Structure 1
Amino acid sequence: MKRNYDLGLLILRIGIAGLMLTHGIPKFLAFIGGDLSVVGDPIGIGALLSTILVLIGELIAPVLIIIGIKTRFAAVASAITMAVAAFMVHGADPLAKKEMALLYLISFTAIAFMGAGSISVDKK
């Protein structure tokens, strides 16, 4: 039973974090191209710092989650990023517009509580 649980966690980690990379990679490419308008400034700390925080949550943290290094910490970083996306960036939008951010938020929150499992670098 434990093996199935760990395999399920691995599938969840790879699936959700892998999909998040499809959002983080284009933002990283825009960032290195000098475009800070992709992220904007949703929490009032400036576009540069906002972009750096989003890249942590959408690029660096998902890579850590996939390979299972500091998984809980990384999942919290991604969950916070998705909370900002859902409730600040898309706060006034209809549910259909913020649904994806909410699904990511729920998934990363679950990973933060469960950890990486035994099929990971951290093996906890």
Structure 2
Amino acid sequence: MMLAHGYPKFQKLISGDFEFGDPIGLGATPTLFLAIIAEFICPILIIIGFKTRWAAIPTAITMAVAAFIVHGEDPFGTKEKALLFLSMFVVIMLLGPGKFSVDKK
């Protein structure tokens, strides 16, 4: 599900459009790169089960920023999806990959 949010950002980067929000003050381009890593590359690693616990960390951090900084003033219904993703990736960090992952081989 996270790939649906990361793939448009990846396409934006490939097309050369570096305009992006800057919620934590790093600059638009570095924030876009970090968002692509957290929302596109790390979910792919989680899907195949490679370095699963490590790959869940950037995505959880990104969802925390989305929930508490980007949507901090919004009502709960707006930040609900980010909080659900955050809780899901925290669970993945704690439990690790399943028995069919690359990490288990």
TM-score of the pair, normalised by structure 2: 0.95
> For residues 39-118 of structure 1, what are the structure 2 equivalents within 5 Å?
39-118=20-99
CA separation in 2, counterparts of 1:71 and 1:108?
Answer: 10
Give the count of matched residue pairs.
105
CA separation in 2, counterparts of 1:50 and 1:65?
Answer: 21
The one of 8, 20, 28 aligned to 2:10: 28
CA separation in 1, counterparts of 2:4 and 2:60?
Answer: 16
What amino acid maps onto 1:20 in structure 2?
A: M
Segments of structure 1 that go 5 or more residues without pairing to the other structure are 1-18
Cα offset for 1:35?
A: 2.2
Segments of structure 2 that go 5 or more residues without pairing to the other structure are none
Alignment-derived partner of residue 11 in structure 1: none
CA separation in 1, counterparts of 2:18 and 2:78?
Answer: 22
Q: Return the structure number with greater relative CO, CA threshold 8 A, min gap 6.
A: 1
After TM superposition, the runs of 4+ consecutive aligned structure 1 residues lying more than 2 A away are 34-37
Alignment-derived partner of residue 9 in structure 1: none
SS in 2 for 1:29: helix
CA RMSD of aligned residues (A): 1.1
User: 1:26-59 CA distances to partner (integer Å, 9 max, x unpaired)?
Assistant: 111112122233x311100000100011111100
CA separation in 1, counterparts of 2:22 and 2:15?
Answer: 18
SS in 2 for 1:35: coil
